[in-house]
């Protein structure tokens, strides 16, 4: 998606303080940022290819410390061989490893997705549960993975997915001063309405991938970064 947008930001005046997280001033600024990102990335969505909650759950477990692009290359063959929880639970571990051995930590992830499938079969009738407390019982599933599944498969906004892009941009956009995903998530949940939490992650991830990169970013040439990002204000 093209980000060729507007003229470079030339305002180098230090931005006003966004105010403390959760205050009306901070929320107004957050709403303005959300609107600008939504206009820029109207098609922002979950980058993991999937059909249904089960596939999204497994793909998200595989995506830990791995690119979505690589996971999307691996999962079609995996799901063709093991289309549901029952099939994955009953499969020989070596066969699962063979399907996922291109992703990082594939041995451990193969064990986790099989164990998760077994728990789905044993306790949930093969279906993916729709509650945070139940999801985080599954092997390989922590809060971030559960948020991905709940928000994108079930349209339940229980939290904000904080990956490396979201964490980086939350700090650069002065939405938080925290450094851990758990604390960053809490600050974002204070600033943005619940109905925006899932989309917020997708918007920040898109901007992080395309513009506000970890290295060699385009912040100084981008109008959104020029208005909101600390790096966009640098002389």
Q: How far is it between the farthest Cα atoms of the chain?
A: 62
Is the same domain home to 176 and 118?
no
The structural domain count of the chain equals 2
CATH (domain of 58): 1.10.340.30
The pLDDT tens digits along the chain (235 residues) read 333 343 334 344 444 455 566 789 999 999 999 999 999 999 999 999 999 999 999 999 999 999 999 999 999 999 999 999 999 999 999 999 999 999 999 999 999 999 999 999 999 999 999 999 999 999 999 999 999 999 999 999 999 999 999 999 999 999 999 999 999 999 999 999 999 999 999 999 999 999 999 998 899 999 999 999 887 654 3
Is the same domain home to 186 and 126?
no
Look-up: residue for tokens 């791995």? 66
Is the same domain home to 84 and 148?
yes
Element (H, E) at 17: none
pTM for the model: 0.87
Provide the token pair at 51: 């059909």
Instruction: Out of 153, 178, 209, pick the residue that ends a domain.
Output: 153
CA distance 135 to 116: 9
Residue 42's alpha-carbon distances to 22, 35, 198, 205, 206, in angstroms, are 26, 10, 14, 13, 11
Residue range of the domain that includes 67: 53-153
**Cα 161–164–167 angle (5° rounding)?**
70
**133 CB neighbour count, 10 Å cutoff:** 8
Is the same domain home to 57 and 35?
no
Contact yes or no for 172/230 (Cβ under 8 A): yes
DSSP calls for 94-113: HHHHHHHTTSTTHHHHHHHH
Is the same domain home to 169 and 140?
no
Residue 220 maps to a domain: yes
Closest among 204, 170, 175 to 191, alpha carbons compared: 175
Instruction: Out of 153, 184, 219, pick the residue that ends a domain.
Output: 153
């Amino acid at each position: 998606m093209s980000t060729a947008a507007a003229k470079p930001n030339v305002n180098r005046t230090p931005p006003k303080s966004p105010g403390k997280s959760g205050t009306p001033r901070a929320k107004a600024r957050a709403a303005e940022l959300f609107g600008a990102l939504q206009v820029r990335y109207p098609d922002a969505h979950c980058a993991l290819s999937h059909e249904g909650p089960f596939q999204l759950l497994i793909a998200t477990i595989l995506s830990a410390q791995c690119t979505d692009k690589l996971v999307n290359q691996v999962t079609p063959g995996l799901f063709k061989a093991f289309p549901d929880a029952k099939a994955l639970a009953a499969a020989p571990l070596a066969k699962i490893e063979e399907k996922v051995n291109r992703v990082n930590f594939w041995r451990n992830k193969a064990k986790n997705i099989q164990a998760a499938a077994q728990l789905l079969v044993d306790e949930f009738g093969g279906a993916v549960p729709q509650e945070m407390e139940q999801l985080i019982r599954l092997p390989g599933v922590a809060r971030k993975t559960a948020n991905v599944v709940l928000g994108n498969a079930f349209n339940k906004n229980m939290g904000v997915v904080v990956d490396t892009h979201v964490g980086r941009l939350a700090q650069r956009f002065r939405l938080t001063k925290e450094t851990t995903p758990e604390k960053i998530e809490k600050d974002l949940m204070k600033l943005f309405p619940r109905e925006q939490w899932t989309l917020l992650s997708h918007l920040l991830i898109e901007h992080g991938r395309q513009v506000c990169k970890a290295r060699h970013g385009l912040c100084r040439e981008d109008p959104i970064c020029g208005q909101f990002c600390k790096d966009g204000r640098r002389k």
